[in-house]
Amino acid sequence: METEEQSGRTEPDLIPVYIMGKRYMVPPSLTIMKAMEWAGYKLIRGVGCRGGFCGACATTYRILGDPKLYFGLACQTVVQPDMYLAQIPFFPAQRATYDITQLEPVATTLFSTYPEVLRCLGCGACTKACPQDLDVRSYMAAGMRGDIAKMADLSFDCIMCGLCAARCPAEEAQYNIAILARRLYGRYLAPRSEHLYERLEEIEAGKFNAELEELKGLDEEELMRQYKARDIEPK
């Protein structure tokens, strides 16, 4: 890929961005990800769902002259003039191995699985780095109090990109600790859905077998008749 200086061309509608320090001229309407592709990158690392759900394209950037570090997802963040950017597509974070069926949903489970939870300084570097704008510091504080439900709730929209862990001076892997909290909540603390278990018993007892057998044997005409005759549950 030629840079603008090399080619001697200027295109007035383009803006300069610096991908890992190298200057490229790109259209100002593009996301960081599309700008990299426009510049000639065929992405393998640092690209996943392209929709803001998977956390593959965590990116850190700075604007020339501004010392502040910014964070975002490359697929969701529009380029700005003089943006210096680098992707962080992988972070070597600590992750514990555990058997969810053998745990109890209590504070000591968090502390024994991830002893570093208690080292959290409460500095908030994680919160500043989160591209989902989650209050990571608060969910870590909830974890330190042993409030698993709160930690699960506040961390729910986490996409596990790892930017929090990358910025943490206490070397926490907040997103791995948070998914333990969510799994403890989902398995042990969420109120039980009795109707689900009643339905499982009915299926196991064979309650619907005859009806399903009959449906499977119907021709299209009869299926269509029954389909049209369905009553629709009101909103």
Looking at the Cβ atoms of 112 and 123, the one nearer to other proteins is 112
Q: Of 68 and 216, which has the nearer Cβ to other proteins?
A: 216
Smallest separation (angstroms) from other proteins to the CB of 169: 26
| Site for other proteins contains 190 (CB under 8 A) | yes
Any idea what DSSP says for residue 134? Answer: -
- Supply the DSSP string of 144-192, one letter for each residue: HTT-HHHHHHHTTT-----HHHHH-TT---HHHHHHHHHHHIIIIISPP
Q: Could you give the CA distance from residue 120 to residue 78 in angstroms, rounded to a whole number?
A: 33
Identify the bridge partners of residue 73 per DSSP, sorted by sequence position: 58
- The dihedral of CA 169, 146, 175, 104: what is its sign? positive
How many alpha carbons lie under 13 Å from residue 107 in its C-beta half-sphere? Answer: 10
Q: Pick the binder of other proteins from 152, 154, 163, 164 (CB under 8 A).
A: 152
Identify the residue among 14, 23, 30, 170 touching other proteins (CB under 8 A).
30
Region binding other proteins by CB under 8 A among candidate stretches 23-31, 59-67, 106-114, 136-144: 23-31
Q: Is 97 in the site for other proteins (CB under 8 A)?
A: yes
Question: Of 15-23, 70-78, 112-120, 139-147, which part binds other proteins (CB under 8 A)?
Answer: 70-78
